[in-house]
Structures are given as structure tokens and as C-alpha cells.
Amino acid sequence: MTAEPRTLLDKVWDAHVMATRPDGQALLAIDRHLLHEGSFHAFGMLDHAGRAVRRPDLTFAVADHYVPSRDRGAPIPDPEIATMVSGLAGNAGRHGIRHFGLEDPGQGIVHVIAPEQGLTLPGLTVVCGDSHTSTHGAFGALGFGIGATEVAHVLATQALWQRRPKSLRVTIDGRLGPHVAAKDVVLAIIAALGAGGAVGHVLEYAGSAIRGLSMEGRLTICNMSIEAGARAGMIAPDDTTFAFLEGRPFAPRGDAFARAVAAWRALPTDDGARFDREVVLEAGAIAPTVTWGTSPETAVPVTAAVPDPSAEADGTKAGQMRAMLDYMGLAPGTPLEAVAIDRVFIGSCTNSRIEDLRAAAGVLRGRRAAVPGLVVPGSGPVRRQAEAEGLDAVFRDAGLEWGEPGCSMCVGINGDLVPAGERCASTTNRNFPGRQGPNARTHLMSPAMAAAAALTGRLTDIRRLGTP
């Protein structure tokens, strides 16, 4: 008798179920619990109940959301922000949790550093009080975001009650066109599924176009799974994955690594395994992409024009489009390439890895930006690598600012805000109203596209601009 074919999700899920309730909820074992400054609510709940952290050895804390992007040597001027950063250090210290603080060479954005340090491994469950925990699925892990009460629950029990999600496979075969990056692929996926299209599902990204991506590209794709409503996105581990992990500080070594790889090779979805839904996209049809509205689902090819709400038959939808255009300050029918921008931001857990910085620097090298901008590497190691390659000089020579690692202008809570009414070409993941600052306008795009926009001061098709 042969076993029923299973998906990657099935395999990771089944391996973590410790108990099942009559109502179908499973008690999942958690392999990695990542914390950032926002976990103060959860520590408060833990302390209030007088509970201890069950597995400090599986728990890792990093300061990223509130850390300053400049003047790291000086004290943080805003006392509330300083308290957020020092509060995490205090909570981690009290509970014996490894903490990547401001002075740590490994510090950076939580979803950048966990893969970089070898904390994220195939087949693991990874949780964090942050919706972009979906990023870690790039390794074939099941990574998902949780709320503060659930963070407190994981701190106390190293477990979480979950209902098995549905599965949705997105298959993309073929070759990506010139200058089409992982960011364009995931924006195209979100546009196809809708911002809530994958609610209740875990996405698996498959097909030759996905297999051909580097780990950086896969991380970008899985990162934005949440923007289609999926709590997690996964990509089957392969030789690209294993080569990335070997030798990383917290990854298994020597014989243990070989045993791990043997186990990881059994993780990919079996032939004939059934998904609840299947979506197929053609790699060659994906263009350099930008968003026009205040939801990532408003992603369109940069060659398109701002859509016209009066062409929308559904009155409610037309009204919602009008509200988005009003917020964004855009007129229907305007070619997107005619839209002038005020600044650029290159960074965030979506696009702040070395490959992203290389792509942006490749466009900017030897040229001057027409608008101001900020480039923030995802981690200390990325920052040092970029500096070793001279990328920081490329950005500075172009007139952009080179920052210290953290979330920065992605969410603006460290003080790096897009001023009200300004339009930002951004490599981040959310264009929600107010996301980069009250009344700030965000257009999402790839690092190369953001660099192209910086050069021209408009949304720009990177294919037209080319690289020198």
C-alpha cells in the first residue's frame, strides 16, 4: 500500500501536531519564535499571569521596528521610542532570550536576520507577532504571523492551537522577461488573487520560474503572501536552499547538517497531491509592475494608465476606487509613467537584501537621482556586504541617503516618515492609507523600478531606462 500523496504543507503540518481537539483544532509545536519591540504587550500578559518562557532556546528577539536609521552612536531622542527599544532588551534579558540589539553586528529586520543567521530552516514552524512572518516559507518552513495574545501563549507553551488551513498552489512556469524581478512576480500574483483572495489558505509557489529564483527572490515572494490574505506562503526546499543555509551561524553543522538535508529532501509536495485550489500564471506575461491605489491588489504593469472608476459596473467597487484615487491624488486615464514622485525608499523585509541593493545600485551607478531618497539595508551583514562592494557609495553619489538596518520608512514608527501629501516610490509591501505616514502616498515596486523612478522623478518602466 502506498501512502496518500501529501503537499509540503501537509508534511510540515503533520510533523508538528502534538494533540488534536474534538473540534478539529491542532496543537502545533513551534520551532522558532521571533520577537521584536512590539512584543511588550505579550510580555505584559506573561508577567501578569506569573508565567515563565518555556523555551528561551527557541526564542529570538531583535530590535528593528523602532531603531534609528542614522546616528546609531547617540541616544534615541524620542523617549517613547527609546523605551520600546530598551524594553525589548530588558524583557529578553530577564527571560534568557538571545537578543539582537542595536550594538549587535547581526541586528536587522527580523525577517531578514532569521534566514541570514540560519535560524529559519526547512520543515520548521516559525511564528512572530508580525504578519510578514510568511517570509520564512521561502525555505519550506511554515511561517505565520500571530497577535499579542498568541505571542504570550507561545512564550508560555511553545505551542499554538490552529485549524489546518486550506492549500492553494500558484504555479508559474516559463522565463521571466528582462528586468522582471521577484517583486513583480508577487505583485502580479496578488493582483490575480485579490487582497483577500487567499484568506484561510497557505500558498505554495511552484513552477520553473519560482525554482529559478535565488533565496532572496523567494523570500520576497513569500514575504508578500499575506498581502493576498494568505497567512503563509511556502516554496519547496532544494539545492538552492541548502547551499544558502550551509555554514550559517545557527544552522546545523557537519554530520547534523547532512542528516538535516536528508530529511529536508523528503519535504517537497508529492506527485499527485491534491490542493484545495490551483492558480496558474505565465512567467513571460509578467511586466515590471507598480501599484496605483491603497491596496497591494491594485498592482498593474507600469505601462498601464490609472483605471477609470466609471468603467466599473459595480457601484460599491467604483466608489471604493474613487476613494483610493482621491487619497492617491490621481486622475483616471493618466499614464502611470507620467506620475511624478517626491521621494524613494529602498528597504523593508520585502526588498532590503544584498541582491535587492545590487539591483538598485546597478540602475543608479554613475547617475544622479532627481528626487531625495533613503536606502536602508535589511541587516548589519547586508550593510557590511554592500559597503564592501561599494554600493553605499553608488547610492550616496546618486544623492540618496544610506541608513542603518531596520524597518525605517516601511512603517515609519522610528520617525522616518513620508511627509503628508508626498508620493513615494517604495520597495515595501503595503500602500495602505497612512502606512508610511499620515496622508503619505505609496507606490509599491521592485528595487530596480524604485531606482529608475529616483533617476527620472516619475514612475518609470525600467526596460525603457535600461542599465548603463
Partner 1 sequence: MQPFTTLRAVAVALDVANVDTDQILPARFLKKPRSAGYGGFLFHDERRRGDAFPLDRPGNAGAGILVADRNFGCGSSREGAVYALVDAGIRCVVAPSFGDIFASNAAKNGLLTITLPEDAAAALRARLGAEPGTVLTVDLPAETLTGPEGGAIPFPIDPFRKRCLVEGLDDVDLTLEHADAIAAYEAAVARDEPWRVPART
Residue 13 is a binding residue for partner 1 (CB under 8 A): no
Nearer residue to ligand SF4 within complex by CB, 167 or 414 = 414
- 233 DSSP β-pair partners: 203
Residue 32 is a binding residue for partner 1 (CB under 8 A): yes
Identify what 148 binds: partner 1, ligand SF4, none; CB under 5 to 8 Å per kind.
partner 1
Identify what 348 binds: ligand SF4, partner 1, none; CB under 5 to 8 Å per kind.
ligand SF4
Residue 411 is a binding residue for ligand SF4 (CB under 6 A): yes
Residue 349 is a binding residue for ligand SF4 (CB under 6 A): yes
Range 82-141, binding ligand SF4 (CB under 6 A): 109, 111, 130, 132
* Residue (of 386, 409, 410) closest to 396 by Cα position: 386
Range 387-406, binding partner 1 (CB under 8 A): none
Identify what 252 binds: partner 1, ligand SF4, none; CB under 5 to 8 Å per kind.
partner 1
Least separation in angstroms between CB 27 and ligand SF4: 27
Residue 124 is a binding residue for partner 1 (CB under 8 A): yes
Residue 148 is a binding residue for partner 1 (CB under 8 A): yes
Residue 344 is a binding residue for ligand SF4 (CB under 6 A): no
Residue 80 is a binding residue for partner 1 (CB under 8 A): yes
Task: For residue 363, give the amino acid letter.
Answer: V
- The CA-based dihedral angle spanning residues 327, 328, 334, 335, taken in that order and rounded to the nearest 10 degrees: -160
Q: What is the largest CA-CA distance in the chain?
A: 67
Nearer residue to ligand SF4 within complex by CB, 64 or 461 = 64
CA distance 436 to 364: 24
Least separation in angstroms between CB 447 and partner 1: 22
Q: Looking at 69, 291, 429, 436, which residue binds ligand SF4 (CB under 6 A)? A: 429
Residue 11 is a binding residue for partner 1 (CB under 8 A): no
216 Rama sector, left if φ>0, alpha if ψ -120 to 50, beta otherwise:
alpha
Q: Which stretch binds ligand SF4 (CB under 6 A): 97-105, 200-208, 314-322, 406-414?
A: 406-414
CA distance 200 to 109: 26
Provide the 8-state DSSP code for 361.
H
Residue 385 is a binding residue for partner 1 (CB under 8 A): no
Return the C-alpha cell found at 156: 508560555
Identify what 109 binds: ligand SF4, partner 1, none; CB under 5 to 8 Å per kind.
ligand SF4
Binding mask 181-200 for partner 1 (x = CB under 8 A): -------------xxx--xx
Nearer residue to ligand SF4 within complex by CB, 65 or 353 = 65
Q: Looking at 135, 412, 418, 460, which residue binds partner 1 (CB under 8 A)? A: 412
- 372 DSSP β-pair partners: none
Residue 67 is a binding residue for partner 1 (CB under 8 A): no
Residue 348 is a binding residue for ligand SF4 (CB under 6 A): yes
Q: Which stretch binds partner 1 (CB under 8 A): 157-165, 178-186, 330-338, 393-401?
A: 157-165
Residue 407 is a binding residue for ligand SF4 (CB under 6 A): yes
Q: CB-based contacts of 193: which residues, under 8 Å, 6+ apart? A: 170, 228, 229, 279, 297
222 is in an annotated binding site: no
Identify what 349 binds: partner 1, ligand SF4, none; CB under 5 to 8 Å per kind.
ligand SF4
Nearer residue to partner 1 within complex by CB, 59 or 460 = 59
Query: What are residue 161's phi and psi, to 5 degrees?
Result: -80, 125
Q: How many other C-beta atoms lie within 10 A of the C-beta of residue 326?
A: 10
CA distance 307 to 247: 49
146, burial (CB in 10 Å: exposed 0-12, middle 13-18, buried 19+): buried
Segments of 272-420 assigned E as strands? 277-282, 289-291, 299-301, 343-346, 373-375, 401-402
Query: What are residue 341's phi and psi, to 5 degrees?
Result: -115, 160
Residue 35 is a binding residue for ligand SF4 (CB under 6 A): no
Residue 151 is a binding residue for ligand SF4 (CB under 6 A): no
Residue 42 is a binding residue for ligand SF4 (CB under 6 A): no
CA distance 66 to 87: 11
Q: Are 406 and 110 in contact (CB under 8 A)?
A: no
Residue 242 is a binding residue for partner 1 (CB under 8 A): no
91, burial (CB in 10 Å: exposed 0-12, middle 13-18, buried 19+): buried
Q: How many other C-beta atoms lie within 10 A of the C-beta of residue 48?
A: 9
Strand 277-282 relative to strand 166-173, pairing: parallel
Provide the 8-state DSSP code for 129.
S
Binding positions are: 349, 407, 410
What residues line the site for ligand SF4 (CB under 6 A)? Answer: 64-65, 109, 111, 130, 132, 348-349, 407, 410-411, 429
Binding positions for [4Fe-4S] cluster are: 349, 407, 410
